[in-house]
Each structure stands twice: as C-alpha cells, then as structure tokens.
Structure 1
Amino acid sequence: MDGFRKGRPADHDQGKECGHVTGDGKSGAAGVDPEQLWLRPTAHRRGRRPSFSREAITAAAVALADAEGLEAVTMRRVAAEVGAGVMSLYSYAPDKDTLLELMVDHVSGELPVADAPSGDWRADLRTIAHLQRAHMLRHPWLPAALSTHRVPGPNTLAFLEHALAVLRPTGLDGAAKLEVFAQLTAFVAGHVAHEIAQGAASRSPDRAAAEARYLATVAADGQHPELAEALAAPGRPLSPEATFTRFLDRLLDGLAAG
C-alpha cells in the first residue's frame, strides 16, 4: 500500500499532491490489501484519542467529491474538513486507493437490502438497476470510481448478497450470477456517466442546435442511408428515466434469452 511518494514528511503535501484522488481513481499503487482494510483496520495510536475517525474522514471525502468531483479530494482538503493535521490522516487512509475504497463502500450503505427477493428475478433486477442509477446520480463521481474499485467492503458485500439472492431463481451457477451483476452495474455506471455528460451539454443550447444541424446535414448527404433512415424514424420518449428504462429492458431481454 505504497501509493504515496517516499521521502521527508513534508513531501506528502508537495508537487504531485500525493493525497490527491484523480478523476479516474488511479494512483499507481500496487493495490489495496482487503484484509488490512476491512478485517484489520489500523488501530488508534497511543496517546490522546483523536477527535476524528475513519468514518469522519470518509464522510468528509465523500462530501467533497459530491460537491466538487474527485479532483477536489486531497488529503489536505479532507484534513481541513475534519480539523486534523494532514499527516495524522495517513494511519486511517495511507494512500488514495484506500480512501477511494472507503468512499465507495461508505455510500454503498445507502443502498437498501432489507426487502426479500420477490421471486421474479427480472423485476427485482430492474429495481436494483433503478436504485443504482439514483444512487450514482446522487454521487456523480461513482461511475469513474467503480471502474477501478476492486475491494468490496461490508456495505458493498451486503448489496451484492441481495443481488445474488435475486438471481437464485435463474438457476445460474455462482460465477454466472456474479457476471450478471457485474454486467448490470457496468451498464448502469456507463449510462449514468453518459447521462451526466449529456445533461451538461444540454445546458448549452447553441451546442445542441449545432449538433442537430450537423446530423441533419450528414443524413442528407446520401453517404449515410442507414443513419438517415434511423433519424427519420418516429421519435421515442427522451426523458432520462424513459431512456434508461428502455435500454435496461433491452439488457434484461438479452439476459433472459441467454
């Protein structure tokens, strides 16, 4: 877990900002040790008990990411939020990969897992996907974080357990059930990332109008007949919710056919 540059203590806050979580969540570290992270969390040092906790550090990092994106999450910023010195945070989150894992599992605790599966796996998977979409829209940094997330913590495992129970009626083996859940989560993350990007683009009317004119011109040039036919087809509901549901149903159709 050597995600920070070695050297003098002051080096931790200089240059590349060792505590910085990049937009894609990567740090170049060898990886997070799941046993150390979830089964043997670092004990408090001797002496006066600190006025903050791993939970407080994680919550502060999540709040920063929600408000300003992952680029804003640095150890210096998080330390300021909890009223601690930067160096004192490293025993709780020794590198940026660890902090990201803590953040992902922290927000995973918002996902409900109390309801027993209905027995209709397709309906239950649809519910799971809509829950995930709402969850990622609340935390727009999650799609990028999940692309590198490797170490499921207790909250993540609870939701995974629920999803696997939902898939029991399919008769799939354990490996296939894990693949289905991974495929569903990847679909939701990719769709939400696109949805967020499209939402940002739609706030620029000039850009949207330019894109529409461009596609109309291309469709009329005689070189793209398939595109012209597709664009001429009757429109479908374009609300974000309707679009997501339509795409999701296609995915579930494929899973059912497989």
Structure 2
Amino acid sequence: MAEIVTLAEAVTELVSDGDQVALEGFTHLIPVAAGHEIIRQGRRDLTLVRMTPDIVYDQLIGAGCARKLVFSWGGNPGVGSLHRFRDAVQNAWPAPLELEEHSHAGMANRYVAGASGLPFAVMRGYTGTDLPSVTTTIKPITCPFTGERLTAVPAINPDVTVIHAQRADRAGNVQMWGLVGVQKEAVLAAGRSIVTVEEVTDELSPVAGQVVLPSWAVTAVAEVAGGAHPSYAQGYSDRDNTYYQEWDAISRDRATFEKWLTEAVLT
C-alpha cells in the first residue's frame, strides 16, 4: 500500500545508485521535480529508461547521474537537440553514456510485457530498419503457429518507476487524466514506484478519461504542486514553452549548464 511521504523521503528510500529508473510522461505530466531530487541526492550509475527522454533526462545526464539510456526518441520537443545528452555520447562528459535504442512501439510493448509478468513482447515492428543491427535487445522470432517472422523485445521491469499525476487520495490511490502515455504500465512493471501529485485530497472525484492506479500498485506518493513544470498537468498548469526555448542555450555550454545546475537545482 502506498505511503504518503515527502519527495526527498521517497527518493532517499526508493532510488539507489545503479538502479534502473524510468521517469515516464508523454509531453504531459513529466516528473521533473522528482528528477531534480534525484540529482540533488547525488545518485550515480543509473540506467535511465524512457520512451521520449527530453530535458529532464538531459539534466540528469549532464549532472552525472546516468551510465546508460534505454529510449526510443530523444530531444528538446519543438526546439532541437539535447546538448548534455549529445556531449555525453560524443565526448563522454561528464561520464560515458551507453545507449540502447528502440522504437516507440518497441518501448511501449516492453513495458506492457513487464506489467503482464511476461519475459518478452512480440511485434511486427522493426522490419526494414537497421535498429536490430545496433540493438542487441531486438531479436527475430518465428511464430510457432503460422511460421511468420516476427520480432521479440525483452520486458522492461524497472527497479523504480517515477511518474507525476494530478491527484491522489489519502489512501494512496492515484488519479490522472488528459494526455497520458505508458505511466500505468511503467508503474505496474516496476519493483518500486514514486508518484508525485499536484494535490492529495480526501476523495477522488471521477474525471472523464481518467486512469486510476490503486494504492496497492504504488509504493510512495508525494505531494509536489507544479512537479511537472515545465511540462503541464491538465487542469492545474500550462506548458512553459519559454523554459524549453531557454534550455537550448543553457544546455549548449558546459559552464552555463553547471551554473544553472547549481543555482536552479542544487541550491
């Protein structure tokens, strides 16, 4: 059953050096505040997993938290490249970064397999691409019933999944709505989970299109209003487009990035 704790307490208890950590959210409800807390607590050698790593992963990589990235697309959405990510790959700064690249469909199916207790997922994707030649976790498989040539990808079972949502009740049941991605599957696939929320309420009022994660599926809930900024939380905040634009200049230069990190996260 989920415990209601502070974000600092959740990260201290549940995220360790060397863990495989998924911070999921698709344009919306990205757990940025949790990523910053992981940086503040100095976690190292993390395998970071995410379908669409954007600026919070750029920040985690630049802060030296990551040794590997498992992903499908990476970029500063609507702006351009992730420069701290690029620097780590090209120049091993601040540390070398191993890459494991998949398609969006491959990553989503891997989470579904993990949430379902299955060892792998089977799909028709990757045909005609060169990803299998560079990613060892993409394997051909033959259907035992039809003989069709398919592709298998292993389940993802993060040590810890971190997401942001709109609300939780005091029992730790979590409610989210709007544009969601694979947050539910990522939580169900994980050994432990942290959910930051805009607010903790006495009761969850039904919302059209909602996703509810029951308390038994969540390890810890932390109330962090604005915890998705600069991404948005439908019904609570808008996307801060200026932040994304400004990040491009901040992240291009190591010294400028380090100054930002000290002033905006570590202080």
TM-score for both structures, normalised by structure 2: 0.21
Q: Which has the larger radius of gyration?
A: 1
Question: RCO higher in 1 or 2 (8 Å CA, sep ≥ 6)?
Answer: 2
- More strand as a share of residues: 2
